């Protein structure tokens, strides 16, 4: 288990009457064995999948192709309806209606992430019923004080005599991202694999956040995240 302080603006405020070594909660990473902690970690993973819907929606809305299509629709509306300035309110409301219809379509197209989040949140996914009974799995959590803010699921997959460490999920609460919490989880997963003489670890090709529900041209933000995650793991493995 690793422990370190996580400094936040609230923690660094100077107050001579309240400052003490215990004022800064400890950041601890360890294998969860308590059922309640496992449940919270599992929920955090499922929530991270559901949050991908927002990223997917932004990827569509701000894609040049989508913006071009919306501009073309509004141009057609203007051409069909405009005769004089009195038509502008009608054009405005019609254009707004078309934009709202487009946003509704985006919501429908990205709904697959909610469905996948519900699947990831099931006991069947967590227990990986398609895996071998001999496979071992650990759920790592990072706690800031008493609050779980990060989770990682690493599974030992047996292939003949060798066991490969596979990361099935890795997430940190949004407000704590970019503070080294995710790196700490990866380091702990690497240590587990080394202690058990597992090869790896590496990210599962079907990890919790791997599913993509949109056509390929909208998936660049997800592919960029994937490359960054795999690059971070590879960098840590080279240090060990």
Interval 136-189: pLDDT, tens: 999 999 999 999 999 999 999 998 889 999 999 999 999 999 999 999 999 999
The answer to whether residue 155 is domain-embedded is yes
**104 domain residue, yes or no:** no
pLDDT given for residue 11 in this prediction: 43
Does residue 61 lie in a domain region?
no
Could you give the number of structural domains in the chain? 1
- What pLDDT is stored for residue 239 in this prediction? 86
Q: Is residue 134 part of a domain?
A: yes
CATH number of the domain encompassing residue 219: 3.40.630
Domain assignment present for residue 90? The answer is no
- Could you list the residue range(s) of the whole structural domain that residue 20 is in? 2-35+130-239
Q: Is residue 63 part of a domain?
A: no
pLDDT value for 123: 92
Angle (CA) 43-186-59 rounded to 5° is 60
- Bond into 175 cis (ω within 30): no
| Residue 154 included in any domain | yes
Domain presence at residue 78: no
pLDDT at 156: 95
3-state SS track over 35-91: HHHHHHHHHHHHHHHHHHHHHHHHHHHCCHHHHHHHHHHHHHHHHHHCCCHHHHHHH
Question: Could you tell me if 121 and 44 are in contact, meaning their C-beta atoms sit under 8 angstroms apart?
Answer: no
List, for the chain, all residue ranges whose pLDDT scores fall below the cut of 50.
5, 7-19
Q: What pLDDT does residue 10 have?
A: 40
């Amino acid at each position: 288990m690793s422990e370190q302080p996580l400094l936040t603006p609230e923690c660094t405020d100077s107050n001579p009457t309240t400052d003490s070594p215990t004022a800064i909660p400890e950041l601890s990473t360890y294998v969860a064995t308590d059922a309640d902690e496992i449940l919270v970690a599992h929920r955090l993973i499922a929530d991270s999948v559901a949050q991908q819907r927002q990223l997917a929606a932004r990827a569509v809305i701000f894609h040049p192709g989508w913006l071009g299509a919306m501009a073309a629709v509004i141009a057609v509306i203007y051409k069909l309806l405009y005769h004089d300035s009195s038509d502008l309110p009608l054009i405005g409301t019609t254009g707004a209606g078309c934009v709202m219809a487009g946003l509704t379509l985006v919501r429908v197209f990205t709904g697959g992430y909610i469905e996948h989040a519900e699947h990831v949140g099931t006991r069947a996914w967590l227990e990986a019923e398609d895996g071998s009974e001999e496979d071992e799995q650990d759920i790592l959590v990072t706690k800031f004080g008493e609050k779980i803010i990060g989770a990682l699921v690493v599974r030992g997959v047996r292939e003949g005599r060798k066991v490969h460490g596979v990361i099935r999920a890795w997430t940190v609460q949004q407000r704590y991202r970019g503070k080294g919490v995710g790196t700490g989880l990866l380091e702990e997963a690497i240590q587990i694999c080394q202690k058990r003489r597992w090869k790896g670890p590496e990210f599962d090709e079907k990890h919790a956040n791997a599913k993509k529900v949109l056509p390929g041209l909208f998936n660049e933000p997800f592919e960029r995240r994937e490359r960054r995650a795999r690059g971070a793991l590879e960098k840590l493995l080279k240090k060990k």
